[in-house]
Amino acid sequence: MDKRFNLLNNLSIELSKLSIKYKFIVLKNKKNYKSTSLDIIDQKLSLEEINKLNNESETLLDINRENQEGLSFRIFESLGYKKKLITTNKDIMNYDFYNPKNIYVIDKKFPKIDASFFKEKYEDIPTEILEKYTMNGWFNKITS
């Protein structure tokens, strides 16, 4: 695991202060990390297990890797599942699907979250915007 481990621990403290129920699942690497706020597992989850967890969740978490540019797959999952998203990717605010009711950007070093983010319902993204981020939308853009 990398520097994201500390962020997860700090974020768990922040969510606990807000009395927000959460579950962070981390795949164990060569180092033996211990944490009471994280579920550390030895084997990757199956696609079925990931889908089940995503369906049960109200909010997904996206933490950029160091030097990562662009959007991660987690962002597209949140759009497809119509789930709220907490992310460290500040660039997301430049995209047409960005909606502060759905997406909350946190600082990697000091993750603070306004409790009101969890009280607001997910606001559907207009179909014409969402379509641009599907395989059909990309295919249509390439072929036109």
Query: pLDDT per residue over 33-67, tens digit each?
Result: 677 778 888 889 999 999 999 999 999 999 988 77
pLDDT at 87 over 50: yes
Query: pLDDT per residue over 21-39, tens digit each?
Result: 999 988 877 566 677 778 8
**Confidence (pLDDT) at 38:** 82
Cα torsion angle, 95, 60, 39, 44, sign: negative
Query: Looking at this protein, which amino acid is placed at residue 56?
Result: E
CB 74 within 8 A of CB 85: yes
When the pLDDT of each residue in the chain is averaged and rounded to a whole number, the result is 88
Query: pLDDT per residue over 96-135, tens digit each?
Result: 999 999 999 999 888 999 999 999 999 999 999 999 887 6
Confidence of residue 1 (pLDDT cuts 50, 70, 90): very low
Residues 6+ apart with CB under 8 A from 25: 38, 39, 41, 45, 53
Angle in degrees, 0-180, between the axes of helices 73-81 and 47-56, rounded to the nearest 10: 60
SS3 (DSSP) at 88: coil
Distance CA 105, CA 98 (A): 11
Distance CA 15, CA 110 (A): 13
pLDDT at 3 over 80: no
